[in-house]
Amino acid sequence: MDEIIRRATPEDVAFIEGVINHDAVRHFMGKGDTPLTFGGALEYSITYVSDHGVMFGENIGNDTFVSLVAFKPEGSGIHAMLSIREAIKRFFTQHEVRRIVGTISMDPPNRRMIRAASILGFEVPKFVGGRAIISIDYLGWALQCSDCYQLGGEFMDENNIVCMADDMAGALGGFLMTAKHGLVAKAVSEYETYAILSHTKPILFSEGADRLYLGDKDITDAVMSLTGV
């Protein structure tokens, strides 16, 4: 099965500019009505493309990324939702991204995107001037991601891990997805935050022994067999 999105390359610049300058898209991009260029942005951004759209992230500090998404009319609806959902997962599990922030133009009002952001798990927007500010952090994503719950739940069942909180499977699934891509320190840190908030046991990493512990349980071999890290 082909992936719905892929990492953008310099060969995609013309396509990206065609999306963001499309007649049905350009007025939502702001900055007047002159054509926008994108080529230089690939050097400092994380950008994914689908058959009909672009998802872009730029680091604005503290591992917070400001995002831009744009889709041609033929990519609206289910395609756009699935593409953005997959991009969010990759931002959080394959990159040092802790929070995603985006803006939605409300001049003219873009209520469809407000509804879509809510479905995708973004926090209630804040309205500033003519724009709605939306955001989602790593844990906010993991604790409502069905893929995380499935992966975490299966891992808990297979390794006889006692459930310590109703949403533990989601947090553990996020940890596993992130560790799979080699971001073990980030995965441990995010799970530690979850453990503090949920009053449960954190995942500890013993650097000298290169072992992972969930409470007193050594989960190193189980994690390595699943993730390959």
User: Quick one: which of 27, 19, 104, 100 has its CA closest to 67?
Assistant: 100
Domain boundary among 137, 165, 180: 137
Domain identity same for 10 and 81: yes
Listing DSSP states for 2-30 in one string gives --S-EE--GGGHHHHHHHHTSTTTHHHH-
Domain identity same for 20 and 74: yes
Domain identity same for 56 and 113: yes
Q: What does the alpha-carbon distance between residue 51 and residue 22 come to, in Å, rounded to a whole number? A: 14
What tokens were used for 212? 């992972």
**Number of compact structural domains in the chain:** 2
Domain identity same for 17 and 79: yes
* 186, part of any domain: yes
Determine the pLDDT at residue 206.
Answer: 75
* CATH for 34: 3.40.630.30
| pLDDT, mean of residues 9-20 | 94
Q: What does the alpha-carbon distance between residue 184 and residue 216 come to, in Å, rounded to a whole number? A: 19
Determine the pLDDT at residue 209.
Answer: 62
* 198, part of any domain: yes
Q: List pLDDT tens digits, range 96-123.
A: 999 999 988 777 777 888 888 999 999 9
* 28, part of any domain: yes
On whether the CB atoms of residues 84 and 90 are closer than 8 A, the answer is: no
Domain identity same for 118 and 171: no
On whether the CB atoms of residues 143 and 167 are closer than 8 A, the answer is: yes
* 123, part of any domain: yes
Determine the pLDDT at residue 1.
Answer: 47
Domain identity same for 110 and 65: yes
Q: List pLDDT tens digits, range 136-176.
A: 999 999 999 999 999 999 999 999 999 999 999 999 999 99
For residue 110, give its domain range.
6-137
Q: What does the alpha-carbon distance between residue 221 and residue 224 come to, in Å, rounded to a whole number? A: 5
Domain identity same for 53 and 73: yes
Domain identity same for 113 and 133: yes
Domain identity same for 205 and 161: yes
Domain boundary among 112, 137, 162: 137
The answer to whether the peptide bond before residue 108 is cis (omega within 30 degrees of 0) is yes
Domain identity same for 130 and 170: no
Domain boundary among 137, 171, 195: 137
How many other CB atoms are there within 10 angstroms of residue 83's CB atom?
A: 23
Q: Which residue has the tokens 């994380």?
A: 46
Domain identity same for 102 and 170: no
Determine the pLDDT at residue 208.
Answer: 64
Q: What does the alpha-carbon distance between residue 194 and residue 208 come to, in Å, rounded to a whole number? A: 24
Domain identity same for 151 and 124: no
Q: What does the alpha-carbon distance between residue 161 and residue 101 come to, in Å, rounded to a whole number? A: 34
Task: Say which residues have a Cβ less than 8 Å from residue 120's Cβ, sequence separation at least 6.
Answer: 81, 84, 85, 88, 136
What tokens were used for 145? 């991601």
* 32, part of any domain: yes
How many other CB atoms are there within 10 angstroms of residue 210's CB atom?
A: 10
∠ Cα 12 46 142 (to 5°): 130
* 1, part of any domain: no
Q: What does the alpha-carbon distance between residue 166 and residue 219 come to, in Å, rounded to a whole number? A: 20
pLDDT greater than 90 at residue 216: no
